[in-house]
Amino acid sequence: MLSKRIIPCLDVREGRTTKGIRFENNVDIGNPVEMASFYYEAGADEIVFYDITASHEKRNIMIDVVRRVAETIFIPFSVGGGIRDVDDMRNVLLAGAEKVSVNSAAVKNHEIISKGAEIFGSQCIVLGMDVKYVGESVKIPSGYEIVINGGRKYMGIDALKWAVEAQELGAGEICLNSIDADGTQDGYELKLTSLISENVSIPVIASGGAGKPEHLREVLTKGKADAALIASMVHYGTYTVSEIKTYLDSCGVKVRKSW
């Protein structure tokens, strides 16, 4: 059995790490380079970096920040936000990232997944999915709809259908974020996570809602996720990465030990 991964997430806006609730009311919480270094030293398995306004503002990702983070940490590093084509992917990978996460651009142009997988390998291509529960309908049979541009634009696309299609296109991993749970610290959206995890064969990273170690245990077991993204619970110092891993290990969840 593969170890479950614990992945701090740095949402970055204007060069600073920020955090909000359900994609709103974001506050500044620190320097992303310093925070990435801190989490690396604390035993994180990976780091995820999202330039959260790049797509909405139609600008390039902040490559200088990506490069400085990559120079600081020596664990897998995934970068997303504002990646529109394979040239953007190449620039991010050359700046030191191991993976690129495509979200809005992939919804608008599915070919970016297949081209990226062909050129760089599926292991480099992460599909970012921002998902909102809207209720079951003919158009959205799962009840979960894809939303892009930082939670601003509903696409009328069923989340489960899109996840399966993206895997077929060549995505090597899915980072699944529940907008409803994002920043609430009330727990991950287990129904959504298990739905996607059970219907794809590629790894699924659960995102949105982590507030205490029990939430990670639930999503990594009941939710069948392969990894869990964390933000608020470590950004505000409520828990450390080591404390989370120690708890999971005591519950029988296999993690890479860092203590």
Query: What CATH number is attached to the domain comprising 107?
Result: 3.20.20.70
CB 174 within 8 A of CB 192: no
Higher pLDDT, 105 or 29: 105
- The structural domain count of the chain equals 1
Residue 11 among the catalytic residues: yes
CB 108 within 8 A of CB 84: no
For residue 141, what are the domain limits?
5-250
Residue 26 pLDDT exceeds 70: no
The pLDDT value recorded for residue 103 is 92
* Strands 153-158, 99-102: pairing kind: unpaired
Q: Is residue 198 part of a domain?
A: yes
Residue 168 pLDDT exceeds 60: yes
Token pair, residue 241, equals: 């990465």
Higher pLDDT, 118 or 27: 118
Residue 226 among the catalytic residues: no
Spatial separation of the C-alpha atoms in residues 136 and 95, rounded to whole Å: 42
Choosing from 45, 51, 88, 130, the catalytic residue is 130
Q: Is residue 54 part of a domain?
A: yes
Q: Nearest 5°: phi and psi at 50?
A: -120, 120
CB 243 within 8 A of CB 249: no
Query: What percent of the chain is predicted at pLDDT more than 70?
Result: 90
Is the whole-model pTM more than 0.85? yes
CB 65 within 8 A of CB 17: no
Q: Which of 122, 123, 129 is nearest to 195 (CA)?
A: 129
Choosing from 11, 45, 51, 182, the catalytic residue is 11
Give SS3 for 257. Answer: coil
The pLDDT value recorded for residue 45 is 97
The pLDDT value recorded for residue 126 is 98
Q: Which amino acid is at 124?
A: C
pLDDT in tens, 35-57: 999 999 999 999 999 885 555 55
The pLDDT value recorded for residue 239 is 96
CB 232 within 8 A of CB 185: yes
CB 127 within 8 A of CB 173: yes
Spatial separation of the C-alpha atoms in residues 22 and 87, rounded to whole Å: 31
CB 33 within 8 A of CB 41: no
Q: Is residue 72 part of a domain?
A: yes
Spatial separation of the C-alpha atoms in residues 125 and 169, rounded to whole Å: 10
Higher pLDDT, 255 or 53: 255
Spatial separation of the C-alpha atoms in residues 229 and 128, rounded to whole Å: 12
Spatial separation of the C-alpha atoms in residues 241 and 27, rounded to whole Å: 22
Calculate mean pLDDT across residues 144-151.
Answer: 89
Cβ neighbours, 10 Å, residue 71: 13
As a whole number, the mean pLDDT across the chain is: 91
Q: Looking at residue 207, what DSSP letter applies?
A: E
Q: Is residue 258 part of a domain?
A: no
Q: Is residue 257 part of a domain?
A: no
Q: Is residue 255 part of a domain?
A: no
Angle at 62 between CA 124 and CA 60, to 5 degrees: 80
Q: Is residue 256 part of a domain?
A: no
Length of the chain: 259
Q: Is residue 42 part of a domain?
A: yes
pLDDT in tens, 4-18: 999 999 988 766 777
* Residue 140 CB contacts under 8 Å (≥ 6 apart), including other chains: 134, 156, 158
